Structure 1
Amino acid sequence: MANLENYKGYSEAFIHPELPLPLPRLQAEQQADLAPVTGTTNNLANYINYSLVLSQSRGFPYFVASNIDGGLFKKVSRTDNWRKDSRIDYAHQWGEELYKARKSDFDKGHMTKREDVQWGQTTLEARAAADTTFYFTNAVPQRAELNQQIWADLENYILHTESVPNNLRIAVFTGPVLRPSDPVFVTKVLGREVQLPTLFWKVVIFTKDNQQLNRVGFLMGQEKLLRKAKIVKSEAVEATAFATERFMEFEDAETYQVNIATIEELTKLTLPPAQDVYLDSRPIKLVLEEVDINARVATPKAFTELGYRISNLVV
């Protein structure tokens, strides 16, 4: 396995050399909160076929950026070799101490999916790439109902229904929404309170003609699942200007698939420009009550009806 310092990470020119795709842009306060990464000037942690930036205060990524080459996808065995990244101060990373704490009834939710970067010219390369997704920097606590069902269905659709069969090169940006109002885990970890993200976003960027980049965005949540399992404290963190109460007031919401502007408003990130395939001409009609999965089980019927089949990704 290559040394961490030799990993190349996300490539902006991956989809097409004449259609560069930069990383999401953080606001100044987020930039100031990045966990330092040894050997870098931008605190970008590169792995194989993906990169991420980590929030120093929260211990979770602001975003991860991955390149997916459907034509070079390889099937390899899963390792589950979770470890911390030695380039980043361990005080800024959550490891087994979080996922084995009392009441930690949640999965290590991959932000970059293992299989997404599981590609290369050889099986050995694909296996090495998949193995690098098992750094704790790439994990965020997710309830199994989200991580193993609806979120997994979306990820599998992107990879196995679109990218691999069509030999597509695509870029995927993913992350938790890190809000000051996120609920607090009931168990202190290493003497610290841990705020658990309740919303997760994903943006897929692709081209159908090698002339125009297109993008689609998705949002899913787990707050009700966390509260139902009594994993988080009942009292909420005091809301700030970044709170999202106003999203609760809207009606006629689209579920899961959302405008990119909605993701940008929630995350404070500026996502790379591209043609928006999905557009809702109404004011933001996102109801977090609908995005948040309340122990719903994903079924083929639900997969079709709930709004995240990416028909526009077909070239």
Structure 2
Amino acid sequence: MIPSDSPQSGGATARTESRDPLPDRAGYDENFLGVPVPLPTPSSPDVPSVVLPYTHFTVVLRPDRRMAAATAVCIDGRLLVEHVPRESSWRFDPRLDERHQSGDEVYRDNSLDKGHLVRRLDPVWGEATEANKANADTFHYTNAAPQADVFNQGKQLWQGLENFLLDHAATFDRKLTVLTGPVLHDSDPPYRGVQVPLRFWKVAAFVQDGSLAATAYVLDQSPDLTRDAERALAGATPGAPPPLGAFRTFQVPVSDVVELTSLDLGPLPAADLMPAVRAPGERWKRLASHDDIMMQR
């Protein structure tokens, strides 16, 4: 960048303005609930990350993995705009080198979906201009991760979690903060220059009876390891995406998400509504419907 007082020809002084390609993006508000819920960040200072604010949400991107480690969104259920058309197309974030993002080359001509991390409609609230901007912001590649294209009950459960939790929070101003991301593991199978995550996590925070409360979930798209494990994880066909399994959705302790992701989730493990003491076989509760979710300590 040229300094603002850099001398130019003719003895004149030129003034260079730095233009933000995505101006006025305040991002995630950690005080949205009235009690602080900090942005999730890697626990280790040695893990590289880039913080990218958008409209009502923020992405914490891992440039070494070319995808998000975490996202955080504020959802105001009273102000949600329900009929914003899905007209946006996916694009790179111009604030970040494209080689640190996973673009269309990862998803083209295969069975992988661009899975929204921040669900498209979650930040779409407020005045029309603001809601439309939020909708468009969710279509940055920084907010996507590869997911199996199968549609089954597990995926329906996952996609409807925010609606269920907003209904639960109806008497508490219908406000949520939702933290979401892929579980980035060194053993994730490689494909077209990225490693495909096999699990995704979500932690929802809200105010219940005047206090901070949280619940956590994991979506598992691991392949069927009853087959040969190496074949299943590496991909049955050279050059093809790794075979992924059916979606399985679990409610899990928030502390387990911390352990899986090595992210700092601040006060949320202590606010977990899932009972702390459970038999090992029941520690992860597989969900068949939203009615299975535990919402009381």
When normalised by structure 2's length, the TM-score is: 0.77
Equivalent residue in structure 1 for 2:103, among 95, 99, 112: 95
Where does 1:119-138 land on structure 2 (aligned, <5 Å)? 119-120=125-126, 122-138=127-143
Q: CA offset at residue 223 of structure 1? A: 1.5
Q: What is the SS of the residue equivalent to 1:129? A: helix
Alignment check: 8 A CA contact 2:59 2:71 kept: yes
Q: In the superposition, relative to structure 1, how do residues 73 and 63 fare at CA in structure 2: closer, same or farther (>3 Å)? A: same
Q: In the superposition, relative to structure 1, how do residues 163 and 116 fare at CA in structure 2: closer, same or farther (>3 Å)? A: farther
Say yes or no: does 1:172 pair with 2:190: no
- Residue in 1 that maps onto 2:274: 278
State the distance in 1 between where 2:294 and 2:22 align: 34
**Highest CA radius of gyration, 1 or 2?**
2
Alignment check: 8 A CA contact 2:114 2:145 kept: yes
State the distance in 2 between where 1:5 and 1:26 align: 26
State the distance in 2 between where 1:280 and 1:62 align: 26
Q: CA offset at residue 203 of structure 1? A: 0.1
Alignment check: 8 A CA contact 1:68 1:163 kept: no
Aligned residue type for 1:145: V
Structure 1 unmatched ranges of 5 or more: 35-42, 236-253, 292-297
Superposition misfits of 4+ residues, deviation over 3 angstroms: 225-228, 282-288, 309-313
Q: In the superposition, relative to structure 1, how do residues 135 and 222 fare at CA in structure 2: closer, same or farther (>3 Å)? A: same
Say yes or no: does 1:78 pair with 2:63: no
Q: What is the SS of the residue equivalent to 1:115? A: coil
Equivalent residue in structure 1 for 2:48, among 33, 56, 77: 33
State the distance in 1 between where 2:55 and 2:188 align: 31
State the distance in 2 between where 1:234 and 1:261 align: 32
Q: In the superposition, relative to structure 1, how do residues 81 and 62 fare at CA in structure 2: closer, same or farther (>3 Å)? A: same
Q: In the superposition, relative to structure 1, how do residues 155 and 12 fare at CA in structure 2: closer, same or farther (>3 Å)? A: same
Q: What is the SS of the residue equivalent to 1:65? A: strand
More helix by share: 1
State the distance in 1 between where 2:168 and 2:295 align: 15
Q: CA offset at residue 48 of structure 1? A: 0.4
Structure 2 unmatched ranges of 5 or more: 1-19, 237-247
Q: In the superposition, relative to structure 1, how do residues 106 and 312 fare at CA in structure 2: closer, same or farther (>3 Å)? A: farther
Q: What is the SS of the residue equivalent to 1:265? A: helix
- Residue in 2 that maps onto 1:158: 162
Alignment check: 8 A CA contact 1:116 1:159 kept: no
State the distance in 1 between where 2:198 and 2:179 align: 18
- Residue in 2 that maps onto 1:63: 70
State the distance in 1 between where 2:61 and 2:208 align: 32
Alignment check: 8 A CA contact 1:176 1:200 kept: yes
State the distance in 1 between where 2:224 and 2:131 align: 34
- Residue in 1 that maps onto 2:60: 53
The alignment of Structure 1 onto Structure 2 pairs a total of residues equal to: 259
Q: In the superposition, relative to structure 1, how do residues 130 and 26 fare at CA in structure 2: closer, same or farther (>3 Å)? A: same
Say yes or no: does 1:15 pair with 2:15: no
More strand by share: 2
Alignment check: 8 A CA contact 1:107 1:141 kept: yes
State the distance in 2 between where 1:164 and 1:215 align: 12
Q: Deviations over 1:260-308 (max 9, x none)?
A: 11111110112121421112413654799x96xxxxxx9xxx3157x4x
When normalised by structure 1's length, the TM-score is: 0.73
State the distance in 1 between where 2:73 and 2:265 align: 14
Q: CA offset at residue 156 of structure 1? A: 2.1
Q: What is the SS of the residue equivalent to 2:177? A: strand
Q: CA offset at residue 208 of structure 1? A: 1.7
Say yes or no: does 1:109 pair with 2:115: yes
State the distance in 2 between where 1:67 and 1:84 align: 22
- Residue in 2 that maps onto 1:247: none
